[in-house]
Amino acid sequence: MASLIGFYSLVLGVIISFIITFFSVKNFKEPIVFDKKIIHFSFLQFFLVLISFLGLIVSFVNSDFSNETVFNNSHTTKPLFYKITGTWGNHEGSLLLWLLVLTLFAVLFIIKSNKQPTRYRILTLLFQQLIILGFFIFVLKTSSPFNYIYPVPNEGLGLNPILQDPALAIHPPILYLGYVGSSIIFSSTLAAVVLNYISKEWASHIKDWVIISWIFLTLGILLGSIWAYYELGWGGFWFWDPVENVSLMPWLALTTLIHCILVLEKRLLLTSWVVILSISTFTLSMCGTFLVRSGILNSVHTFANDPERGLFILIFLFSLIFMSLFVFFFFYRENDKTDYSIFFLSKETSIIVNNWFMMYFLSVVLIGTTYPIFLEVISSEKISVGPPFYNKLIAPFLIPFLFFMAIGPKLKWVKSDLSDKIYLILFLIISLFLSIFIVQNFKIEFLLNTILITFAFYLFFITVRDFVSKKYKNLSQNLAHFGFSLFILSILFNNIFATEVITNLKVGDTFKTEKFNINFESLSQKNKQNYKSIVGKLIIENSKGSIEVMEPELRIYNQPNISTSEADIKTGFLNDKFMTINIVQNQEYFNVRYQIKPFMIWIWFSILLITSGGLISMLKKKYEN
């Protein structure tokens, strides 16, 4: 029943889509006042998709296995929380969530844009409706979450256990708010180009949308990363896996956009560049959807692959790209009066340099992710591009990047000088000594680390100084940059100073190292709602006599029959202690891994700092208005 209602509200949603388009076109021709009908129908469309989404949730909660999506992804013994979150833990449901967020943002745009010109608002909604319609067709044609199966199965196939996790339950909605938020940027930019409305007013109006999408995207990536840390692999949090890269690309584009839209807002420079970036942000999100959903790349996170879906998104993606190209080349006119002269020591220069580096990072990620596809098509050779590639190409470029991040905000718009600022050099020297003192190792690979740490410290000290001396004049920027320095420092220390033990132990065994002993004390079994749990108790005693009890767990899920290894993590202020156990085929012993990972919590914390930088800049604007 709920599935049926869900399905028909989706179909109604498509019809509304055509109605909105009709009224919008009519209103666009005679833009005297904004037609109220467009508002009403947009609301209606949002509610219809919401009902459809709720219908799917109800089907999941009731374990209605006559619904194919529920059958494939749920099970009666699954806890209620994961029945609900299972709704968007699969391809069909997550696309419905996309659609929901798309229509939500269309409604929000109408509400928030009432001071904007009527024709601009209508045209933006038209472009947005085009995207919405595309997704409607995609969902209904290739990935309907409401397919009916007969005879009705008694039991479902269950949700992949690694997805039964609180962080991953809220990760998709937040991430999609970021991805889809960029669709509004896309639509409004195209509308502004067609109407020649790219201006300072437009920049400050669109800035909010950029920052909102950026905040959600950052948080979404953070959640995914935290999940990967405790659930996937052995304590890594970023694997340069295609599905991660795909979220990083729009993030890099958005971050660049945040910076250069400031230049547009202040000096009406870089207009075409802002347009290109705004368009590519959503295009990159869509491109990511294509790469992940079509199964063209293999990654840790694969959805059920279906070539038909891949083809649909591919055609949809490139239709959007060619449409944007047409709009850009046909309608975009550079303002003749633009003065391209800028002073070397100015905020403009520093932001242009920021953009330059960000685009380089983006190109590394984009090329690294898609290159294997190109190579295979052209020469049918298969290669892998993994973490070493990205590290080698990105790490050295971070050094000047960090430097400009420290210096840039010191510069004023148009023209400034740094002659009276001796502390800039002083701090660099302090940072260098501090870094040498910490690393104390002069091999080539460590030399790079030393320099990187130097510059990260440099940014760190300079931003700390600004907190103290500037009296929160530009708190948001300073907080974000401070967070970034902390982020780089934490990652470097986390990498350089990690301790790791890998060994095989039986119950009763003790493993000794110079600094600590690991004693495998006992093993206990418990039956939980939908899995059997085996918990090991290991005692770590370090040379100073302090004791830590670690209880890593193995879970054997009933449906689907998959065993997972749950790490035991003791999070501390300075380091995380991380332990996993694993079964070894045909052996009595377990594979035990123990790691001490320094500054782990600081990595998460620094990302939150960066995000709060964005949040503050938005709130400040509201406050000033």
Partner 1 sequence: MRIKKYFLIVFFIILTNFSFAEEKNLQNEITKNLRCLICQGQSVYDSDSEFANSIKSLVDQKLKEGNSEKEIYEYLKVRYGDWILYDPEFSKNTYFLWLLPLLLFLFGGAIILKLFNIRKN
Partner 2 sequence: MKIKLLPITVTFLFLIFFLVFFLGLKNPNIYKPNINEKKEIPFFTAKLFNSTTSINSNEIFVGKNFYLLNIWSSWCVPCRYEHEFLIKLNKEENLKIVGLNYKDNVKNAKNYLEELSNPYDISISDKSGLIAIEWGAYGVPETFLIHEKKILKKIIGPITSDLMKEIKELINL
* Length of the chain measured in residues: 625
Q: If binding is defined by CB under 8 A, does position 496 make contact with partner 1?
A: yes
Question: With contact defined as beta carbons under 8 Å apart, do 607 and 487 qualify?
Answer: yes
Residue holding tokens 């123990």? 594
Question: For residues 321, 322, 323 and 325, what is the CA-based torsion angle, rounded to 10 degrees?
Answer: 90
Return the one option of partner 1, partner 2, none that residue 497 interacts with (CB less than 5 to 8 A, by type). Answer: partner 1
Comparing CA positions, the residue from 184, 194, 320, 160 lying closest to residue 257 is 184
- Of residues 422-461, those binding partner 1 (CB under 8 A): 430, 434, 437-438, 440, 461
Least gap, CB of 344 to partner 1 (angstroms): 5
Least gap, CB of 295 to partner 2 (angstroms): 5
Among 155, 201, 308, 500, binds partner 1 (CB under 8 A): 500
- Of residues 594-613, those binding partner 2 (CB under 8 A): none
Least gap, CB of 447 to partner 1 (angstroms): 15
Question: For residues 394, 397, 403 and 404, what is the CA-based torsion angle, rounded to 10 degrees?
Answer: -100
Least gap, CB of 382 to partner 2 (angstroms): 6
Comparing CA positions, the residue from 466, 501, 502 lying closest to residue 481 is 466
Comparing CA positions, the residue from 130, 45, 49, 153 lying closest to residue 93 is 49
Binding window for partner 2 (CB under 8 A); candidates: 291-299, 424-432, 445-453, 479-487? 291-299
Binding window for partner 1 (CB under 8 A); candidates: 54-62, 212-220, 496-504, 519-527? 496-504
25 sits in which H/E element: helix 2-29
Binding window for partner 2 (CB under 8 A); candidates: 191-199, 287-295, 566-574, 613-621? 287-295
Least gap, CB of 375 to partner 2 (angstroms): 10
Minimum CB distance to partner 1 smaller for 130 or for 428: 428
Least gap, CB of 395 to partner 1 (angstroms): 13
Comparing CA positions, the residue from 332, 274, 322, 333 lying closest to residue 130 is 322
Residues 537 and 533: their CA atoms lie apart, in Å, by: 13
Q: What 3-state DSSP class applies to 412? A: coil
Return the one option of partner 1, partner 2, none that residue 343 interacts with (CB less than 5 to 8 A, by type). Answer: partner 1
Comparing CA positions, the residue from 92, 101, 108 lying closest to residue 131 is 101
Residue 596: strand pairing partners? 499, 577
Q: If binding is defined by CB under 8 A, does position 296 make contact with partner 2?
A: yes
Reading the block at residue 101, the tokens are 């967020």
Question: With contact defined as beta carbons under 8 Å apart, do 301 and 224 qualify?
Answer: no
Say how far residue 204 (Cα) sits from the centre of its chain: 24
Reading the block at residue 187, the tokens are 């639509």
Q: If binding is defined by CB under 8 A, does position 382 make contact with partner 1?
A: yes
Return the one option of partner 2, partner 1, none that residue 377 interacts with (CB less than 5 to 8 A, by type). Answer: partner 2
Residues 404 and 354: their CA atoms lie apart, in Å, by: 7
Q: If binding is defined by CB under 8 A, does position 396 make contact with partner 1?
A: no
Minimum CB distance to partner 1 smaller for 254 or for 342: 342
Q: If binding is defined by CB under 8 A, does position 399 make contact with partner 1?
A: no
The torsion region of residue 210 among left (phi > 0), alpha (psi -120 to 50) and beta comes to alpha
**x-or-dash string of contact with partner 2, 521-560, rule CB under 8 A:** ----------------------------------------
Reading the block at residue 202, the tokens are 């437009």
Q: If binding is defined by CB under 8 A, does position 240 make contact with partner 2?
A: no
Minimum CB distance to partner 2 smaller for 373 or for 619: 373
Reading the block at residue 327, the tokens are 């709009």
Among 22, 374, 397, 472, binds partner 2 (CB under 8 A): 374
Rounded to the nearest 10 degrees, the angle between the axes of helix 200-231 and helix 600-624 is 160
Q: If binding is defined by CB under 8 A, does position 376 make contact with partner 2?
A: yes
End-to-end CA distance of the chain: 49
Least gap, CB of 272 to partner 2 (angstroms): 12
Reading the block at residue 464, the tokens are 């700390």
Question: With contact defined as beta carbons under 8 Å apart, do 158 and 168 qualify?
Answer: no
Q: If binding is defined by CB under 8 A, does position 290 make contact with partner 2?
A: yes
Least gap, CB of 352 to partner 1 (angstroms): 6
Q: If binding is defined by CB under 8 A, does position 367 make contact with partner 1?
A: yes
Least gap, CB of 375 to partner 1 (angstroms): 6
Binding window for partner 2 (CB under 8 A); candidates: 142-150, 179-187, 376-384, 566-574? 376-384
Residues 70 and 90: their CA atoms lie apart, in Å, by: 10
The 3-state secondary structure of 71-97 reads HHHCCCCCCHHHHHHHHHCCHHHHHHH
Phi, psi of 273 (to 5 degrees): -65, -45
Residues 428 and 461: their CA atoms lie apart, in Å, by: 9
Q: If binding is defined by CB under 8 A, does position 233 make contact with partner 1?
A: yes
Residues 467 and 517: their CA atoms lie apart, in Å, by: 44
Least gap, CB of 383 to partner 1 (angstroms): 5
Q: If binding is defined by CB under 8 A, does position 410 make contact with partner 1?
A: no
Residues 559 and 165: their CA atoms lie apart, in Å, by: 15
Q: If binding is defined by CB under 8 A, does position 498 make contact with partner 1?
A: yes
Least gap, CB of 437 to partner 1 (angstroms): 8
Return the one option of partner 2, partner 1, none that residue 314 interacts with (CB less than 5 to 8 A, by type). Answer: partner 2
**x-or-dash string of contact with partner 1, 568-587, rule CB under 8 A:** ------x-------x-xx--
Least gap, CB of 514 to partner 2 (angstroms): 29
- Residue type for 260, please? C
- Of residues 297-326, those binding partner 2 (CB under 8 A): 297-298, 305, 307, 310-311, 314, 318, 321-322, 325
Among 329, 340, 442, 623, binds partner 2 (CB under 8 A): 329
Residues that bind partner 1 (CB under 8 A): 232-234, 236, 239, 241, 298-302, 340-344, 349, 352, 356, 359-360, 363-364, 367-368, 371, 375, 379, 381-389, 392-393, 397, 430, 434, 437-438, 440, 461, 464-465, 468, 496-500, 502, 515, 565, 574, 582, 584-585, 591, 598
Which residues sit at the interface with partner 2, rule CB under 8 A? 290, 294-298, 305, 307, 310-311, 314, 318, 321-322, 325, 329, 373-374, 376-378, 382, 585-586
